[in-house]
Structure 1
Amino acid sequence: MSSDVPTPQPALQAAAPRRRFRPFRLFGALILILVLVALVAGGLLLAHELQTSRLQAREISRFAAKLDYERVAGRSDAVRYPQHGPFDQRLGYTELPRFIERLEARGFELTAQTRFSPDLLDYVDRGLFPPYREKTRTGLDVLDCRAGPLYDFRYPYRGYADFAAVPPVVAQALLFIENRDLLDESRPTLNPAVDWVRFARAAAAQVGRMVKEDLDAPGGSTLATQIEKYRHSPDGITYDAREKLRQMVSASVRAYREGEQTLPVRRNLVLDYLNTVPLSAAPGHGEVNGLGDGLWVWFGADFDRVNELLSAPDGEGDTLKAQGLALRQVVALMIAHRRPSWYLARGREELTRTTDAYLRLLTEAGSISAAMRDAALSQPLLFRDLVANPAVLPANPGKGTTAVRARLAGMLGTSLYSLDRLDAEVDTTLHGGLQQAVGAYLNRLSDVDFARSQGLIGDRMLNPATLGAVRYSFTLVERTPGGNRVRVQTDTTDQPLDINEGSKLELGSTAKLRVLTTYLEIVAELHGRLAELDVPALRQVEVARQDNLTRWAIDHLATASDRSLPAMLEAALERRFSASPAENFFTGGGVHTFGNFNRSDDAREPTLREALQASINLPFVRLMREIVRHTMYQVPGSTAQLMEDAEDPRRAEYLARFADREGQTFLRRFWRKYQGRSPEEMRTLLLDGLRASAERLAAVFRYLEPEAPPEALAAFLGRRLGDAQLSESRIEQLYSRHAPEAFDLPDRGYVARVHPLELWLVGYRMRNPQASLSEAVAASADERQAVYRWLFRTRSRSAQDSRIFTMLEVEAFLDIHRRWARLGYPFGHLVPSLATALGSSGDRPAALAELMGIIVNDGVRLSTRRIDRVRFATDTPYEIAFSVRPGVGERVMAPEVAAALRGALSDVVESGTARRLAGSFRLADGSALTLGGKTGTGDNRIVIGGRPGMALNRTATFVFYLGPHHFGSLTAYVIGPNAAAYRFTSGLPVQILKSMAPVLVPHLAPGADIACLPVEDLPLPLAVPATANERAVPVDEEVLPGDAGGSPPVESAPVMVEPPLPDPAQSATEGVLPAAPLSEGGVAPDAADVGVVASPVPDIPAEEGTDAAPPRARAGRIDAGPAIPVPPTAEPGLPGSVPAPGPAESAGTHPPAE
């Protein structure tokens, strides 16, 4: 066989199984790889984002750009105001809704407000804080009528103007303690709201505290979130994690509101923190914010000096020690912020230790040198003694600004302290330049040479040796169609009290202007009622026997050829009244005499016009008596008419109805007087209205506090009577004499010289402070009848008549007071005495100026403005503006009456007590302004026990108008016991005003001060008498008793002594008469304390009086002599008549200045 035969091959082995392709596994691997890559990339991106915040910068800045707002005219329908946050509260932002309501209720209208964008509205509605550049130092700005600064309060008071002003070591210390990487310039878009490392460490510590509660957990806040917290979080505290999140989000959005780059924002955070960090509160200073104020308040350190030291290189010796102390104080306050109320009070030792530790750490970190550290550690941390050296902010706002601030605080319902710290701006009506010029002029009057050059040294003027104690107040008001605007309001005192608006002074004969005004108003009312009647009808008009004023009006209209109102008013001014001081006047419950300034006037019978020019007293006392009696008989169903017929069978019925009706009337008046006051305030108001005497005060005290021990009475009398010390036996006597069971309510009211129902109401309200008026009326039914039960008695009829007359006089003065109040009288009551005609009820210079404004404005009362516009939160999302609503004048006086008064006042300047002013105000064109005014001199004294009178104050006032648009008042005054040494009269303010003419005249010409007026206010001419009346009357300037030259006294002392008080055991039915209503403020001091001589007055029945009017009184003349029967004194053993206050300038009869 051949070898070529193929050899058989073994079978092929079976092939290996083939792998299946699995794409999902590959995909999963890819996903895993991608995830790992993504995680790595994400981690890197996250790390990069945490490091740079670039993504946050881009997205948050875009979002923040939509959170805008705009200022719109009128009211906004899209705005939100914060509801909490210490800074929002201090700046007034949380109070803006309440301010809107209060200002709109007080004559302002909302003229501008902000409108939030929809995004900002949504953002704020989610509870976040709106982003805007917040103010670190702000406060109240007061501007004058030309937008010039009058007053600005900046809080905090001390601070850095910008970041460059912060010493580097201060910034480094702050960052080391609170936020070390904040100013890293390599990270331009860094979000300053979150320090992630610090945040993580704080979060881990919080987790740890869940396991161990006492674990020390560091905070995770940055400067940005801390600022959000103490500015806007409730109470400045982070209560929970949600609040922390709100702070972080708000701070982040705020950081990017101006774009992605945050380094400028971060620098501002350092600046803002240093300027605003809360550092507790100090007694006498209030809250302390900011490093600057903190250094000054807590350490007494000078902020500028501290910055100077810390900005310089390390010094040597004492300089280095000073630098070390400054740094130690700065670091201490940075640490104190963590717990300021603890560290700066009871925790000062702990603060010292912690400060030392941080000084060492700062050295280790290289922020300060070892030498600086050692110098700082060597200096003790000494705190200011806030008792011996209180931290009081300097402030000198000036009186005009003080009045504006006080008025605005009242309108807003806030304190002056809080007002100054509001983010607010006020446009006032004051003219800053003129205010400053007048203030400077008045202050120079204490210089002898200057006073002499102004003609102020001499008899009845100033004494060179005592110039410094005389103070001056001045008010100038400009009449505009939009209201009266105060251009100047100033005084020369260095006290907060504003004499123009905050005082109660006896301004003497200026009260004659009010009396004359009331008189002419009544004449106008009588003209309106009677002028349409013919002569026979006039003769049929029933006139009360003692209503001489109505009788004169009838006689005038029956005989006059010209029955017009102006003619009747002129005739009324030409009526003659006796100036004789020989008459005794029963008024205010006692018999008084009055005197004139000049004895030569005693025999005169001047017209009222002449009496006003020469300021003669007695004609005005008699005129006031006419007004009082006329008022008594003008009320329908008047008790005065009821008591004419003693046999009227309806007498008892009338008296019962009268008692209930009149009792309710008085009760309602007294309710209004005390409404809204606390029990202590009611008691104080009641007591302030009394003339202080031991008997009166004890009577009231024992009624209001029947359970109080004698020691309480002694302490009370000591506070009220001051230097008048009472012995222990006298206290015991008063305590038992006025025991609750000793007197019933009417008798106690009589003893206290206060209306019994007023006394009852104060006691009732003190026991039932929540009672309503209806409850008080119901509870007082018996007391009302008891108060008037004496009217029902028939025994001692003449004594009843005297009490009835006293009550009628009081009621008449209540009506007269309503007339005066309508014309701006500032107080709640008048002293019910004819002496009110001479100033005993007191007045205020500003109130007299308001009356003059009514006269100048033809009888229309315009609102008196000191504030034109108010703005809050300027350049913030909360900005809001108000303007005063254009005023609508109220006619309160007939124009004919105003014209008659202007003429009479012009005569005072042309030929009366102010004649030295005549012709002194001439405009640039040579024309003279028409001037008018009224002078008055007050000498307020207390006379006790026959000793020489103790002077309380002396005043000389001139209330004036200067041409058709301007009016005001000027007062010179001395307060205190030394006032008795001064003899100046009202010629002094007249001469001062004359000397001020060069200062004032440039502002008095029509249109001269148009820059001060709102655009809508244009000069409006006013007709004033073109020429003064040429009647020559011999006059002299007013002189007070005891003045040089032997001038006679104004009046003698009251001639009635208060008899012994009623025996407590004696029944009221035995003739002890309770007081008739005496007034809301009480009457005069007890005559027993005044030290005068008793002079009994004979019983003269009313119907047999010596002044019974004939059927037709002599027109145009009022004789001396009693015009009403002098009421008799009480029977032996009964309370006699009580002396009422005498006229101004008299001794022992005046209410104390308030």
Structure 2
Amino acid sequence: MKAGGSKQTWRTIRMMFIFLLILALILAVIYEIETSKLQAHYISRLAAKIGVQVASGESPSIQFPKAGPYDTRLGYVELPTFFRNLDVAGYDIEAQARFSPFMLEYTQAGFYPAYREKSNAGLRIEDRLGRLIYAAAYPERIFSDYSQIPDIIVKILLYIENRELLDPRYPLKNPAVEWKRLTAAALELGMKVVDSSRNVPGGSTLATQMEKYRHSPQGLTLSVKDKFQQMASASMRAYLNGEETLQARYRIVCDFINSMPLGAISGYGEVMGLGDGLYAWYGVDFPQTVRLLSQRPSNLSDSVVKARAMALKQVVSLFVAQRRPSYFLAQDHMALKAKTDTYLRLLARVGIITPKDRDAAIAAPLVLQERVDPPSAQSFLPRKALNAVRVQLLNLLDIDRLYRLDRFDLSVTSTVDQSVQQETTTLLKSFSEPLAAQKNELYGYHLLGDGDSSNIVYSLTLYERSEGANFMRLQTDTLDQPLNINSGTKLELGSSAKFRTLATYLEIIAGLHKQYRSLSRAELAKVEVDPADYLSRWVISYLSGYSDRALSAILASAMQRSYSASPEEKFFTGGGVHTFSNFDTRHDNRMFSVQDAFNHSINLVFIRMMRDITQYYKYQIPGVRQLLADATDPRRHDYLAKFADQEGQIFLQRFYRKYAGESFGEAFDILLEGMRQNPKNLAAAFRYIKPAAGFKEFKAFLSGHLKNGQAAGNRLPELFEMSGPHTYSLVELGYITRVHPLELWTLAYLNRHPDAGQGEVIQNSAAERQQVYTWLFKTSRKNKQDVRIRALLEVEAFSEIFLAWKRLKYPFNSLVPSYATAIGSSADRPDSLAELVGIVLNEGKWYPTLQIRKLCFGEKTPYETRLAYRKSQGEQVMHPQVATALRQALLGVVESGTARRIRNAFLLSDGTGLAVGGKTGTGDNRHNIYGSDGHLLLSKAINRTAVFVFFIGDRFYGVVTAYVAGQDSDDYTFTSALAVQILKAAAPRLMPLLAADDQQ
């Protein structure tokens, strides 16, 4: 018995011990669930190993997020792509975040980096001295910290989402887990295996919800792994500052209220946070809502009670809607109202709101907006330079919308000088005041003519050359539109084109000097040069006659070459005969040196200079002399075929516009208006254009179009037969009808293909274009052939001139093949002309023009990266001595030419003046219509421009423009003197920048 009793006793004791162990374990689990003491101990020690340091150079350990709405919105996901784009654009990583070993291991395991995330962020732009000029922050309306949030808002949120979060009895509590909800969700998930129709409630806390909608792909929990990832990441984030988490939990509440997703609405875009949600969906003032809900509900007037009830209902509705924003806010407003009213009753039941508040809130209407009306339009004038910076950012990062750019966590240091920008903008605006009220520097000079000054757009851009780059310091104009007339327009800038023409002229001289400088006089005498190649002949003559063969000497001599300014000569250019005139008739019939002609902007000198340039390039074509001399040269056929093709296309485009969209009868009537009408002509045209028509249709047509005395009578069958569609060639048909053969072909083609486009008509007419010019290929027509070949040779020469201009940053993709290009017919852009001055100042080297010096992505985040522009080596696009000669030429324009009024305008404090050079230009762009005898029938104004492209000292350069668009420009007679006077008036505003030593 004793032995058996002993065994029973030990068994009982063992069972009691096991029970106590289980009980202790249960109690320990319950204690841990309530207090999170063990979690706090271990997770806080792991969190202490998380760290980031920013050090020079590219980081070997940084890890970028791959997905997540928050990380995508702030630009973190795309950072590797941005860095590659910026590297190509010339920016280097100066400094970048380094992950601690544990943080690197932690993120590589798939967890989200633990750091204090930003409640809002966006693009920030500073000027060159660090002054803030632009700041975007999204969401826009936030609580800066927990203390600003009305207590009732916190209580409502916690009741709906996370009731135990702020329990002060447990200072170490892990906010990532609410065990009751998690257990209920787990049980429901298990039951769903049996009953798939069951709806599983979420077990998320505010902390894990934020991890989900910020960092999970698409902001969703798609698997158990995703849920674990969110909980682990939220836990690590909560213990970053040690074991106690109460302050972290306060931040969670504040961050959630500021960032919860609330869909998207037209006119605003993505909506985040309570403040932006109230504004976007209800159109209410966020501060006013905060004030209403901060008041105690007792002793309020009826109007305040109603307003408070409305605010309460709107807040509750947004907390409800954040669970399914696209459904509640964009689709089913009635479901949102019903759910909101349910929560209002529950909130009153637990005492969070009073019954009075509940009843008033339920009675209040819940009216959501369908779109957000844009704010009142702001003037574009103060933002011209800023917009140029933002546009360059779009290009650098290769993104398509300012909407996205403004939401990136990005700080930028621009090159703009904000104070000079503001003062200059104010000055230019004063120039645009109505003339009667104008009291500024321009008024006394009578430069505007009869027009109203308020219609003139004034523009000023200034750059500073620096080591390895050119910096934009200011860019402003008075056009209150997004368009930037400096870089976004195509303007005829008149005589400023002479600057490019002179550059091309001097480059040719420099090239010929290099080609022939090493030849002796005897060798030079043997060089064969066509008599029409005046530039080559002049260089050979110079090198044969002067002992000083230095490039600087021949360039100086080239600037003293003389040209006639006579307007009497007729010039065959651009496919026809043209005459040109000088701006000032006092210059007619005089000879001018190149320098004097440049100083005084004399048109006919530069027309003749462009002819010399064209002839030079024309005779660089191998064998061109033989081509023009020998009528049997096989290359002539190729040139003539090309001419026929091009000329034919011009006619086809004209005929297509004439007949497209017309019915056959209407089109034929139009054709007959210019055609001598007799039975033979009508029959030939009709049968060719409509070959499938039968005799009856032919007869009806002829009877309807023959005039009295032209009746064909019994000859109709004969006419029908003898005018068959294959009776005459297209050339013969044109001769018979006295209509251009291609006009007949176009009408016939459109009859068969009424929906054909212009491109199709041109594509399918290649053979006919050659056919109608067969007469041109006969050697007996050599003189006419030569005229057309020379026209094509001129086009080829202008292709070479275009390449020379393009190398010097001409902004467009073609030139008008005419000598008139020398005086502005090919147009230009103000900032492109300024870029040419920059090349001159930089001794023939082109350097990139910057609006952005430095960028910083993700400041105070694990992704922080600072980039700066690396100094460019530049591109030598012009011979340095050509640049020197051009600089001297520009100085001459100010010293004794059309820009004399700007002399001595830029004086330093010691009384010395900064050297100023430049080129003026006046563009009077008109649409002229001439009669068959060449006389002008109608001249319609298109726009008028005045431009002054300049440099100041050795560092600064830019361009001033005055511009009037449309027929109103007929009322203005201003010249480039107006642009020069604008710069003179701006001089005092610019001097603080011009005199500064720094080049930030």
Q: Is the alpha carbon distance of 1:791 and 1:994 closer, same or farther for their aligned partners in structure 2, counting shifts above 3 Å?
A: same
Question: Which of 591, 595, 602 is equivalent to 1:609?
Answer: 595
Residue 435 of structure 1 corresponds to which residue in structure 2?
421
Summarize the Cα distance change of 1:657–1:464 in structure 2 as closer, same or farther, 3 Å threshold: closer
TM-score, with structure 2 as normaliser: 0.85
Give the superposition deviation at 1:322.
1.4
Deviation at 1:655, TM superposition (A): 5.7
CA RMSD of aligned residues (A): 3.8
Distance verdict in 2 for CA 1:655–1:596, change over 3 Å:
closer
* 1:561 Cα deviation from its structure 2 partner: 4.7
**Structure 1 residue 172 corresponds to structure 2 residue 155:** yes
Q: 1:359 to 1:827 in 2, by over 3 A?
A: same
Query: Quick check: 1:273 aligned with 2:277?
Result: no
Q: Deviations for 1:518-565, whole angstroms, at most 9, x for unmatched residues?
A: 101111111112223233322221112321111122222233353322
Question: Could you say what secondary structure the match of 1:987 adopts?
Answer: helix
Q: Which moved more, 1:30-39 or 1:783-792?
A: 783-792
Q: CA deviation at 1:799?
A: 3.2
> Which residue identity does 1:154 align to in structure 2?
A
Residue from 265, 290, 297 that aligns with 2:273: 290
Which residue of 112, 115, 120 corresponds with 2:95? 112
**Following superposition of structure 1 onto structure 2, how do residues 430-829 of structure 1 map, counting pairs within 5 Å?**
430-447=416-433, 452-457=438-443, 461-462=447-448, 466-635=452-621, 637-638=622-623, 640-647=624-631, 651-652=633-634, 654=635, 696=653, 699=656, 710=661, 794=779, 796-829=781-814
Is the counterpart of residue 979 in structure 1 residue 969 in structure 2? yes
Deviation at 1:794, TM superposition (A): 3.3
SS at match of 1:546: coil
| Structure 2 residue identity aligned to 1:110 | I
d(CA) in 2 for partners of 1:372 and 1:395? 44
**1:402 is matched with which residue?**
387
- Cα offset, 1:698, TM superposition: 7.2
Work out the number of aligned pairs and report it: 919
Q: Identity percentage over the alignment?
A: 44
787 and 164 in structure 1: CA distance in 2 versus 1, 3 angstrom threshold: farther
Aligned partners of 1:486 and 1:864 also within 8 Å = yes
Change (3 A) 1:110 1:793: farther
Give yes or no for contact 2:651–2:742 (8 Å, CA) kept in 1: no
Structure 1 counterpart of 2:627, one-letter code: M
Q: Which residue of 1 aligns with 2:228?
A: 245
Deviations 1:1105-1150 (A, max 9, x none): xxxxxxxxxxxxxxxxxxxxxxxxxxxxxxxxxxxxxxxxxxxxxx
Cα distance, 1:803 vs structure 2 = 2.4
The aligned runs of 1:17-56 (5 Å cut-off) are 19-20=2-3, 26-56=9-39
Alignment equivalent of 1:988, drawn from 978, 981, 985: 978
2:852 to 867, 870, 878: 867
CA distance in 1, matches of 2:524, 2:505: 21
Determine the structure 1 residue equivalent to 2:698. none
**1:260-319 deviation per Cα after TM superposition (whole angstroms, max 9, x unaligned):** 111111111111112111111122322111222221122211112221222223332222
CA distance in 2, matches of 1:890, 1:309: 64
**Contact 2:656–2:758 (CA<8 Å) still a contact in 1?**
no
Tell me, yes or no, if the aligned pair for 2:309 and 2:361 is still in contact at 8 Å: yes
Moved more, 289-298 or 789-798: 789-798
Q: Which residue of 2 aligns with 1:833?
A: 818
The partner residue of 1:78 within 40, 55, 61 is: 61
CA distance in 2, matches of 1:88, 1:964: 46
1:366 aligns with 2:323: no
Q: After the TM superposition, which residues 333-412 of structure 1 pair with which residues of structure 2 at under 5 Å, given as runs?
A: 333-386=318-371, 389-390=373-374, 398-412=383-397
Q: How far off its partner does 1:894 sit? A: 1.9
| CA distance 1:221–1:943, change in 2 (3 Å) | farther
Does the C-alpha gap of structure 1 residues 223 and 526 become closer, same or farther in structure 2, counting only changes over 3 Å? same
Identify if the C-alpha distance between structure 1 residues 731 and 339 changes in structure 2 by more than 3 Å, giving closer, same or farther. farther
Determine whether 1:220 maps to 2:203.
yes
Q: Report the alpha carbon displacement of residue 444 of structure 1 after superposing the two structures with TM.
A: 2.5
Would you say the 8 A contact 1:578–1:604 is kept in 2?
Answer: yes
Determine if the alignment matches structure 1 residue 937 to structure 2 residue 927.
no
- Which is further off, 874-883 or 461-470? 461-470
Secondary structure of 1:968's aligned partner = strand
Q: Does 1:910 align with 2:895?
A: yes
Aligned to 2:85: 102
> Residue 974 of structure 1 aligns to a residue in which SS?
strand
* Change over 3 Å in CA distance of 1:513–1:361 after alignment to 2: same
Change in CA separation of 1:377 and 1:786 when aligned onto 2, cut-off 3 Å? farther
Give structure 2 stretches of 5+ with no counterpart.
675-685, 691-724, 732-739, 747-756, 931-935
Given residue 367 of structure 2, which amino acid in structure 1 is its aligned partner?
L
Structure 1 unaligned blocks of 5 or more:
1-17, 668-689, 703-708, 714-725, 753-762, 768-775, 1014-1154
Q: 1:962 aligns with which of 948, 952, 959?
A: 952
Task: Give the Cα–Cα distance (whole angstroms) in 2 for the partners of residues 950 and 341 of structure 1.
Answer: 56
Structure 1 residue identity aligned to 2:513: H
Counterparts in 2 of 1:743 and 1:231: CA distance versus 1, 3 Å: farther
Matches of 2:337 and 2:673, distance apart in 1: 62
Q: CA, structure 1 residues 951+861, in 2 after alignment: closer, same or farther (shift >3 Å)?
A: same
Superimposed CA distance per residue, residues 889-944 of structure 1 (whole angstroms, 9 cap, x where no aligned partner): 22222222122211211111112111111111111000011111011112223346
Q: Could you tell me how far apart the structure 1 residues matched to 2:351 and 2:882 are?
A: 86
Which one-letter code corresponds to 2:272 in the other structure? N
Q: Are 2:946 and 2:962, in contact at CA under 8 Å, matched by a contact in 1?
A: yes
Deviations 1:981-1016 (A, max 9, x none): 2222211121111111111122223xx241x43xxx
Distance 1:928 1:393, change over 3 A: closer
The change in CA–CA distance for 1:791 and 1:982 in structure 2 (over 3 A counts) is same
Q: Describe the shift of the 1:85–1:791 C-alpha distance in structure 2 as closer, same or farther (beyond 3 A).
A: farther
- Tell me the CA shift for residue 134 of structure 1: 0.8
Shift of 1:211: 3.5
TM superposition shift of 1:712? 14
1:1073-1124 deviation per Cα after TM superposition (whole angstroms, max 9, x unaligned)? xxxxxxxxxxxxxxxxxxxxxxxxxxxxxxxxxxxxxxxxxxxxxxxxxxxx
Q: Is the 8 A contact 1:478 1:966 kept in 2?
A: yes
The code of the aligned residue for 1:631 comes to Y
Is the contact between residue 621 and residue 837 of structure 1 (CA under 8 Å) also seen in structure 2? Answer: yes
Matched letter for residue 557 of structure 1: L
Q: Is the 8 A contact 1:192 1:222 kept in 2?
A: yes
Query: Which stretch of the first structure deviates more once superposed, 515-524 or 264-273?
Result: 264-273
Out of 893, 917, 922, the position equivalent to 2:907 is 922
CA distance in 2, matches of 1:791, 1:156: 72
Structure 1 window deviating more from structure 2 (203-212 vs 286-295): it is 203-212
Secondary structure (helix, strand or coil) at the match of 2:94 reads strand
Distance 1:843 1:30, change over 3 A: farther
| C-alpha separation in 2, matches of 1:204 and 1:266 | 27
SS of the aligned residue for 1:142 comes to: strand
Deviation at 1:783, TM superposition (A): 13
Note the 1:1001-1080 alignment, pairs <5 A: 1001-1005=991-995, 1008-1010=996-998, 1012-1013=999-1000
Is the CA contact 1:919–1:928 (under 8 Å) kept in the aligned structure 2?
yes
Equivalence for 1:671: none
The 2-side partners of 1:880 and 1:966 are apart by 32
